[in-house]
Structure 1
Amino acid sequence: MKELMFSVFPSENFVDLGLYQFGYEQCKPAHSFGPAVRNHFLFHYIISGTGILMANDSHGVTQTYHVKSGQGFMIFPGQINTYISDEKLPWEYTWIEFDGLRAKETIELSGLSLDNPIYKATSKDLREILKEELLYIASHGDATPFHLIGHLYLALDALIRSTSIMQTSKISRLQDFYIHEALSYIEQNFQNDISVENIAAVCGLNRSYFGKIFKDGIGKSPQEFLLNYRMIKAAELLKLTKLSIKDVGNAVGYPNQLHFSRAFKNIYGISPRDWRNQNRLKQ
């Protein structure tokens, strides 16, 4: 196997769970990364060697963890972290960066958290499945997006089942039903002038309670999710169609082109026109 493999996932169209980048590395002695902050969840599985993770806990205090082969570590969005490979027994690891509507729930089920970021399997067989799935993803960067997403699901299933936590989700079945109702409504009406009050009303809930269970379940407020969903759809249209910027904005619920451009730039960091120029599919 090569000393380093790195790939960026070729699609942004997966909402429940999506990859951002993935890879494998045989680290050099004392190889380090950070201090850094990630926008998404990043999981490393240690194949061999040992090293140190320094990461902020839920109170913002930096904690130090020694991580060895057969273990792993999760880095959380917005968390300041640094990780350093040992000078004598450097890490060999594989990693995935992922996110999505079900990411927060998946990680809760695995028992990993800001205060408990170290993966320790209770099942050797399932730990091996996790490793093999992560290595498969790392070595198949040229596979189709659907193929890679399938293996992401298998890897996360092994992550969850290989820990001792395996508890039911903190979200009750009724709350989960409300969230699915809200997501379905957003998917069908995001192009219209809808508000959080509209979505809560569809679920038969008051705005405050709806906002709380949505944030608990999804990890984003309803406003944040609606904005992100609209911008994902806008990016698809910019990439796949020849619609004008104004028409793309209209198609995702922004009749005012200036408001659309400002919202898009807040998410992607550049204007819709510049993003299209960089990402348009060649005809």
Structure 2
Amino acid sequence: MFPLKKDMREDYHEFLEIHFFTPSDFEKTGNVWPIRLGTNIAKSNYHIGPRTTPYYYLIFVLEGAGTFTQNHVTYHLGKNDMFCLLPGVTHEYFTEEDHLLQKIFVAFDGKQALHLLERIGLSPQSPYRKGGLTDETNKLMWEFMNLVRDERQASDLSRLAQFYQIFDKLSIAYHSLSTQENRSLSWLQQGLDYIQIHYAEGITVERVSAYVGVERTHFTKQFKKVYGVPPMQYMQDLKMNEAKHLLVQTDYTLTEIANSVGYPDLFSFSKAFKKHLGVPPTQYRRDQAMT
């Protein structure tokens, strides 16, 4: 068992050190911000839940063993595992009496909190990763603890910097571990993903085929065979669907919309739009406003 820190308080089922943060106005203008940070050493009767939390909790197992249940799925916890509590979802976890859990955790919130979790390989469908805690991440978590113990140094910027550094290292470790899985993705799926992400950036079929390492003609032929349309038409459909959305849901000018969906000027956008839908974008916006 880790030696008890002077900042730890004894509870009926654990020893706990926890620091609470009130996000600054600056933090709340961002996508994600930390809410609390802590570490604990379980007693033999340690049992949390069933309960819910209003925030996301990323928890790392430092020592010991236990059980974690969320969304009616149960996971066995061991050293260096990580798991996440999801807001509004009932969870429960407890320790094994002979292998008491010791954990370190950070809670966070924000409109992009779930996306940040996905960057490190966690999701509502998969809230647990075996061996997710690396030595480097462990070190960064304890540096975070030391930072917030000194309130004079724990500014909102320093909290955010440390918080994002932790997720950056976790993301790098996750993508390194999943390299083999990524290799199993077909080059066709990689091409589709690339188009869906970058279609509005003026990419060409040549660029996509080069990205996946396949000759352009072969890429086009196989793409059409699997997805039903050539890649150029697929990109065009994505652009037009986004253009229709912007025409109806925003007050953007036609030039702004043209630039947003990857056209170099208004003329080429209007020509493509009319060819695709049979009416110019101005008429489409006017017709939709009347319906």
Which bin holds the TM-score, normalised by the shorter protein? 0.5 to 0.7
Partner AA of 1:147 in structure 2:
S
* Equivalent residue for 2:168, pick from 154, 157, 162: 157
2:99 aligned residue: 89
1:127 aligned residue: 134
Matches within 5 A, 1:136-175: 136-141=143-148, 142=151, 143-163=154-174, 164-165=177-178, 172-173=197-198
1:49 aligned residue: 64
Partner AA of 2:172 in structure 1:
R
Q: Which runs of 5+ in 1 are unaligned?
A: 57-61, 177-195, 206-283
User: What CA distance in whole angstroms lies between the structure 1 residues aligned with 2:161 and 2:24?
Assistant: 15
Shift of 1:91: 0.8
Aligned 8 A contact 1:10 1:145 in 2: no
C-alpha change, 1:148 and 1:131, in structure 2 (3 Å) is same
Matched position secondary structure for 2:35: strand
Q: Which runs of 5+ in 2 are unaligned?
A: 6-14, 183-189, 202-245, 259-291
Please tell me the root mean square deviation across aligned C-alpha atoms, in Å: 3.0
Shift of 1:151: 0.7
C-alpha change, 1:204 and 1:44, in structure 2 (3 Å) is same
Partner AA of 1:77 in structure 2:
P
Aligned 8 A contact 2:58 2:106 in 1: yes
Between 1 and 2, higher relative CO (CA 8 Å, sep ≥ 6) is seen in: 1
Match status 1:38 vs 2:49: no
Aligned 8 A contact 2:65 2:101 in 1: yes
Match status 1:11 vs 2:23: yes
Partner AA of 1:6 in structure 2:
I
2:87 aligned residue: 77
2:265 aligned residue: none
User: What CA distance in whole angstroms lies between the structure 2 residues aligned with 1:199 and 1:19?
Assistant: 33
C-alpha change, 1:152 and 1:198, in structure 2 (3 Å) is farther
C-alpha change, 1:131 and 1:172, in structure 2 (3 Å) is same
Shift of 1:73: 0.5
Shift of 1:121: 4.2
User: What CA distance in whole angstroms lies between the structure 2 residues aligned with 1:110 and 1:140?
Assistant: 23
Deviations 1:83-107 (A, max 9, x none): 1122111111100011224322221
Deviations 1:53-94 (A, max 9, x none): 0111xxxxx111111111111111221101112211111110
Aligned 8 A contact 2:82 2:131 in 1: no
Shift of 1:28: 1.1
Matches within 5 A, 1:194-213: 200-202=250-252, 204=257
Matched position secondary structure for 2:38: strand
1:103 aligned residue: 113
Deviations 1:4-59 (A, max 9, x none): 21011132431222011110111112312111212221110111111110111xxx
User: What CA distance in whole angstroms lies between the structure 2 residues aligned with 1:175 and 1:199?
Assistant: 18
Deviations 1:115-170 (A, max 9, x none): 21112347xxx711111122222333222221111110011112212223477999
User: What CA distance in whole angstroms lies between the structure 2 residues aligned with 1:175 and 1:36?
Assistant: 44
Matched position secondary structure for 2:134: helix
C-alpha change, 1:75 and 1:197, in structure 2 (3 Å) is farther
Matches within 5 A, 1:12-27: 12-13=24-25, 14=27, 15-27=30-42
Aligned 8 A contact 2:79 2:131 in 1: no
Matched position secondary structure for 1:140: helix
Question: How many residue pairs are counted as aligned between the two chains?
Answer: 178
Sequence identity (%): 19
C-alpha change, 1:154 and 1:199, in structure 2 (3 Å) is farther
Moved more, 30-39 or 81-90: 30-39
User: What CA distance in whole angstroms lies between the structure 2 residues aligned with 1:201 and 1:91?
Assistant: 55
User: What CA distance in whole angstroms lies between the structure 1 residues aligned with 2:106 and 2:248?
Assistant: 36
Matched position secondary structure for 2:100: coil
